[in-house]
């Protein structure tokens, strides 16, 4: 029995891993798997195989550099954690925790949550999913009547047209951050200082891999936040077929960042997308207040953020109201249906 690492292009092994999984599972999309697990040292898919060469389980692990109280901590975000035989989950869990300072789950299945509760991990409260214009997602394999109902609801006249809301804010005399669209991250887009007690703090190569604006299977749009005298940060929008996700963002000031998000959304929400549903995550007290004033409301779905280790080893501050949380961490924004590709 041993653990092997998926190598880009090894689709024969991938098909063996995906065989027990449902028809539209993300591991059945080779473009996604080859990019996410096969192109960066920061993210790997580990596969547990027995002595008879049978696949027993899988674990995706993305190593993420966080700034926590000014200290750098490597959090290991899991994805595609599957145990096909008894005992496989425990071995994969140990492999996960030994490869990072602290484990991280943002979302996760009930079976994963059961393991984490047994390990006495910490559930971080106050992190909310917020939406505007009902951010429905179209899922492959969904019953025809559910898909039809969602499409009908998405075609209803929107309650909020984002670009018009931003224009009204400008007419009311509010100074909003300006943004300009870019194709790649650069060093000057990374904030030199931060007001956030906890934030994901990747370097430029990581960002250009994870939020690549030229991927065939997912459409990321990158916006530089401008202020008088230079750059203050960035916003990444995941432009999906049926909705928009504020994928990741960072800036030197929470209000400046919130305004930059509004300005970026105004650039994306044009034409047929002017009333599209938008989804984001937030825990920061001032940012959540700004989002709600703009028109965002709580999404009914819950997505817990959990951290811990073999003996919990909590190093995250208890209060999340000064954290910068983004929805598209790990593989949260990388779900089927992917653009331009069918499942094998």
Strand partners of residue 79: 60
DSSP classification of residue 134:
-
Quote the CATH superfamily of domain 2-124: Gcn5-related N-acetyltransferase (GNAT) (3.40.630.30)
3-class secondary structure, 327: coil
Q: Comparing 2-124 with 128-302, is the CATH topology the same? A: yes
Of 188, 211, 191, 209, nearest to 201 by C-alpha is 191
CA pair distance 323, 284, nearest whole angstrom: 6
CA pair distance 180, 283, nearest whole angstrom: 26
In the predicted model, residues of the chain with pLDDT beneath 70 are: 135-159, 312-314
What CATH code is assigned to 128-302? 3.40.630.30
Q: What is the pLDDT of residues 205-248, one digit of tens each?
A: 999 999 999 999 999 999 999 988 899 999 999 999 889 999 99
Pull the structure tokens for residue 77.
């975000």
Q: What is the pLDDT of residues 56-91, one digit of tens each?
A: 999 999 999 999 998 999 999 999 999 999 999 999
The domain segmentation of the chain, as residue ranges, is 2-124, 128-302
How high is the pLDDT of residue 146? Answer: 47
CA pair distance 256, 276, nearest whole angstrom: 24
């Amino acid at each position: 029995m041993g653990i092997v690492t998926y190598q880009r292009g090894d689709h024969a092994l991938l098909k063996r891993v995906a065989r027990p999984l449902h028809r539209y599972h993300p591991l059945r999309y080779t473009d996604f798997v080859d990019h996410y697990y096969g192109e960066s040292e920061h993210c790997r898919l580990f596969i547990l195989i027995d002595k008879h060469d049978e696949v027993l389980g899988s674990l995706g692990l993305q190593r993420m550099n966080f700034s926590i109280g000014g200290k750098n901590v490597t959090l290991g975000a899991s994805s595609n954690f599957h145990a096909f035989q008894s005992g496989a989950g425990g071995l994969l869990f140990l492999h996960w925790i030994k490869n990072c300072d602290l484990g991280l789950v943002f979302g996760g299945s009930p079976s994963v949550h059961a393991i984490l509760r047994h390990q006495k991990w910490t559930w971080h409260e106050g992190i909310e999913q917020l939406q505007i214009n009902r951010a429905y997602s179209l899922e492959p394999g969904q019953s025809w009547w559910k898909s039809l109902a969602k499409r009908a609801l998405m075609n209803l006249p929107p309650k909020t047209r984002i670009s018009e809301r931003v224009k009204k804010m400008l007419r009311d005399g509010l100074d909003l951050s300006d943004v300009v669209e870019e194709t790649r991250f650069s060093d000057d887009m990374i904030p030199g200082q931060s007001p956030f007690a906890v934030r994901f703090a990747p370097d430029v190569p990581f960002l250009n891999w994870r939020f690549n604006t030229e991927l065939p299977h997912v459409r990321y749009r990158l916006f530089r936040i401008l202020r008088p005298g230079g750059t203050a940060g960035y916003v990444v929008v995941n432009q999906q077929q049926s909705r928009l996700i504020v994928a990741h963002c960072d800036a030197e000031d929470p209000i400046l960042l919130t305004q930059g998000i509004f300005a970026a959304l105004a650039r994306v929400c044009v034409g047929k997308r002017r009333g599209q549903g938008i989804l984001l995550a937030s825990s920061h007290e001032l940012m959540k207040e700004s989002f709600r004033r703009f028109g965002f409301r709580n999404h009914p779905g819950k997505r817990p953020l959990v951290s811990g280790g073999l003996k919990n080893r909590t190093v995250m501050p208890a209060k999340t109201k000064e954290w910068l949380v983004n929805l598209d961490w790990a593989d949260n924004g990388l779900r089927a249906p992917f653009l331009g590709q069918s499942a094998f």
